[in-house]
Amino acid sequence: MNDFIPLFPLSLVVFPGEQLNLHIFEPRYRQLIRECEDNKITFGIPAYIDNQLMEFGTEIRLKNIEKIDPDGKMDVETEGIGIFKIHTFYKEVTGKLYSGADIERMADDSKGNSHTAHRILMAAEELFDLLSIEKSPPEDVDDFSAYELAHHVGFSLGQEYDFLCIPTEMERQNFMLSHLEALIPIVKETERLRKKASMNGHFKRVISPGDL
């Protein structure tokens, strides 16, 4: 059975469990947020990539309206709660300013592999160190969800969307680990070339081979 939800398309990917703060200024989305608050309904953020509305998105729960400006603009706190697939998109919803869709909520297998999770966290820590990113990966392997790192491991927007479409935690872990194992050598080589380039124009201490 499909359910209808209002849509708030954005050029980004939101993951389940993500805490997302939004600045709402368009009248159609101010209407949407008001209805979410008044009627305790959710809305969907489908990714909008390369001028195309994507098939999958994340269902969003309004947590709090943090601030409302005199002109009606507002800052809101939201949370991703699950993945959906669009079956029928309605660019115009009768009597509303916003768009909507009939959606199917996707089941999620959140059971991962602790060994793979450990390898991901070690690789992420190495990547953050290489890039001088002041962020610590989660410490609890048993409670780790790959979604927690999905915005922090160098995925492109397209890769983030592909990651969103993966239905099981084990597959997400494998996707992320493969990405990290491919990315880290590139970052290391880039850093080596950067350091080499930074030496140009400086005097170098060169030791000649003794037997020549």
pLDDT digit string (tens) for 31-67? 999 999 999 999 999 999 999 999 999 999 999 999 9
Provide the strand spans (E) within the chain: 3-7, 19-24, 43-49, 52-68, 74-90, 99-105
User: Residue 74 in contact with residue 45, Cβ under 8 Å?
Assistant: no
Average pLDDT over residues 84-111: 95
pLDDT at 207: 56
Work out the average pLDDT over 108-123: 93
Residue range of the domain that includes 11: 3-105
Identify the DSSP state of 109: B
Determine phi and psi for 137, rounding to 5 degrees.
Answer: -65, 160
Q: Quick one: which of 25, 32, 20 has its CA closest to 70? A: 25
Residue 202 has pLDDT above 90, yes or no: no
Residues 10, 100, single domain; the answer is yes
Nearest one of 178, 75, 174 to 117, comparing CA atoms:
174
Tell me how many domains the chain contains: 2
Of 63, 84, 105, which marks where a domain is finished? 105
pLDDT range class, residue 19, cuts 50, 70, 90:
very high
Q: Domain check: are 92 and 126 in the same one?
A: no
Q: Is residue 211 part of a domain?
A: no
What pLDDT is attached to residue 211?
Answer: 57
Higher pLDDT, 209 or 144: 144
> Does the residue 65 lie in any domain?
yes
pLDDT band at 135 (very low <50, low <70, confident <90, very high): confident
In angstroms and rounded to an integer, the radius of gyration of the C-alpha atoms of the chain is 22
Residue 108 confidence (pLDDT) above 90? no
Mean pLDDT of the chain: 91
